[in-house]
Each structure stands twice: as C-alpha cells, then as structure tokens.
Amino acid sequence: MRLGTARVDGATRAVVVAERSVVPLPFADVGELLGHPTWRDIAESALAGAPDMPADLDLAPVVPRPSKVVCCGHNYAGHIREMGRPVPQHPTLFAKFADTLTGPSDVVTVPDWAEGLDWEAELAAVVGAPLHRATRAEAAAAIAGWTAANDLSVRSWQRHTGQWLPGKSFDRTTPLGPVLVTADELDPGAGLALTCRVNGEVVQRGDTADLVFDAAALLSYISSFTALAPGDVVLTGTPAGVGAAETPPRSLADGDLVEVDLEGVGVLRTPIRIETTRRDADPGPAKEVPHE
C-alpha cells in the first residue's frame, strides 16, 4: 500500500494512493493513522469502496507532525570517504524539528545569508509501533514503511560549531514523501536505487543496500535511549555525491530544481528559491571569552 497526506481545504487528510484512485481516510495525516494499532486493516478496508479524490493531489510531508525526527549522517561508505570521515562504530545522529519538514513538491526558500545550500537524497523509515530498547528484530518489525527525504543542508550554518543542528533545521527545508510505501511491499536491504538530480543532472546515485547502519540497526540504537512512537521518522543518511564534497564546493542556486528519486517510492521535486533579505539578527557573543 501507498499512503499519503494530502492538503485539502486548508487542512490535511490521510489517503491511500491506489493505481487509479486516491481514497481518503478518516485521519488528519499518516502519522495519526499509524497511531492506531490496526492502521493496516483500516487502510486496506478503505481501499474496497470509498470515493475517489482528484489525482492531482497537493501533498504535505507524508508525516507532517512526527513527535521525533532523527537523522543519521555518515551512513554510506562512499559519502563517509568523500567527507573525509573515519569509520563509524556508532551511527552519527542528530534531530530535526517537525516543522523542518515540507511537502514533496513544495518550493524550498532560504535566505541568501544561508550560504552553501546542499542536497542530500535519503531513504527514510517511518515507525509503525511503539519502540523502547528494541532488539534489531523488534525494530525491523516495527517499521511501517519507507519514504524519501531530501535533507537539504545549509553548510555554512552546519559548520558554525561542531553541532550540526542550525544548518540542518532551517524551517521547511526537508521534503518528505511523496508517499509511504508499506514495509511488506518494499525491501531497501535488497537494494533500491537512490538518485539525486539537479536541473536534470545526476549528482548522487546510491543504493540503499549500501547503508552502514540499516534502518533496523538505527531504530534499535535510537530506541535504546529514547522511545519511538508511531509516525516518528528516521532519515538514514545520504550516499556520495553531495555538493560540499566537490572541488570547489557546489551549492544550490535560486531557480534550481532538485529531484530525489527513490526506486519504488517516487520522486521529490523541489524548486529552490534563494530569498534576498537583510539579516538583522546576529547579536554575537554578549561576553568576551578570555583567552587563557
């Protein structure tokens, strides 16, 4: 099954996307649907008879309000090498806020002082059942399904300090979708092509079978320290080919179109808008730190 969250009349609505029809579900979004233990049955029965919706859906992030969005960096061997990083013994994790997410066809706008906007095509796992200190097998069984993400990163702000949060959390800069494909229909461990294109040029060409820590390993590790809930989203990292690794580094410009194409899931199409705006706000340190 393919599940989505559609924008309808100023609100959102969970939908099942079938081959030639779109069926609305009685839930505000896919996250709310997944909160019901019988979400699979609910969605399957809806497919049987409910009325269609227009095919040209305006899609929201497939889970628009997850309680947790956890992201992994340095998780493909090729990308680890291109960023000059050591071999990881543990997954490198950071968090995003729910409102960092945006829809699969939405324009992403960043201010011109957010220099170095870069693409990161990713496979994302969506949690379908509560997880707390889960084994690998428990974690694997709790994955509701798979979707695609573009972890668009503002490299200058990511590098302000050793902690990446600012460059990874500009509002509405992480396209997520277009749909969730349920875990019974897709196996990233067997290898799905993960491609990123900028204005049609292929810049990343990965394979989800090459993840260092696969989704089950990530969910098990994450659930060791923090409980995961249905609808939570885990971004599994990006393959080689980011702009920051080019010589000289390359970044996205106003008017660019970035596409993340995940085999079996679909395409995120993101027009980039660089907004010219003065930044009033950089008060700097309130105190000088003595050099000692």
273 near a copy of itself, rule: CB under 8 A: no
Count H helices and E strands in the chain, helices first: 7, 17
Give the interface size with a copy of itself as a residue count (CB under 8 A): 69
d(C-alpha 123, C-alpha 179), whole Å = 12
Contact mark string toward a copy of itself, 27..66, x via CB under 8 A? ----------------------------------------
Q: Is residue 238 within a helix (H) or strand (E), and if so which, with residue range? A: none
The single residue among 73, 175, 206, 239 that binds a copy of itself, judged by CB under 8 A, is 73
Q: Does 248 bind a copy of itself (CB under 8 A)?
A: no
Q: Which stretch binds a copy of itself (CB under 8 A): 20-28, 54-62, 192-200, 212-220?
A: 212-220
Q: C-beta of 288: minimal distance to a copy of itself in Å?
A: 8
Q: Binding of a copy of itself at residue 211 (CB under 8 A)?
A: yes
Strand 233-235 relative to strand 69-73, pairing: parallel
- Does position 20 interact with a copy of itself (CB under 8 A)? The reply is no
104 Cβ contact list (under 8 Å, min separation 6): 59, 61, 62, 148, 175, 176, 177, 178, 266, 267, 268, 269
Q: Could you say whether residue 114 binds a copy of itself (CB under 8 A)?
A: yes
Question: Least CB distance from residue 148 to a copy of itself, whole Å?
Answer: 20
105 binds a copy of itself per the rule CB under 8 A: no
Name the nearest CA neighbour of 145 among 265, 26, 12.
Answer: 265
Find the part of the chain contacting a copy of itself (CB under 8 A) among 10-18, 70-78, 248-256, 268-276.
70-78
Q: Which of residues 138-167 bind a copy of itself (CB under 8 A)?
A: 139, 154, 157, 160-167
> Could you give the angle at the alpha carbon of 153 between the alpha carbons of 189 and 6, nearest 5°?
70
Residue 59 beta carbon to a copy of itself: minimum distance, rounded to whole angstroms: 22
How much of the chain is helix, strand and coil, in % rounded to 5?
20, 35, 45
Which of 3, 6, 63, 70 touches a copy of itself (CB under 8 A)?
A: 70
233-235 and 121-127 as β-strands: parallel, antiparallel, unpaired? antiparallel
99 near a copy of itself, rule: CB under 8 A = yes
The whole-angstrom separation of Cα 10 and Cα 65 is 16
- In the block, tokens 């003595």 appear at 290
289 close to 124: Cβ distance less than 8 angstroms: no
Contacts to a copy of itself by CB under 8 A:
67-68, 70, 73-74, 77, 80-81, 87-100, 114, 133-136, 139, 154, 157, 160-167, 169-171, 210-214, 216-217, 220-227, 279-287, 289-292
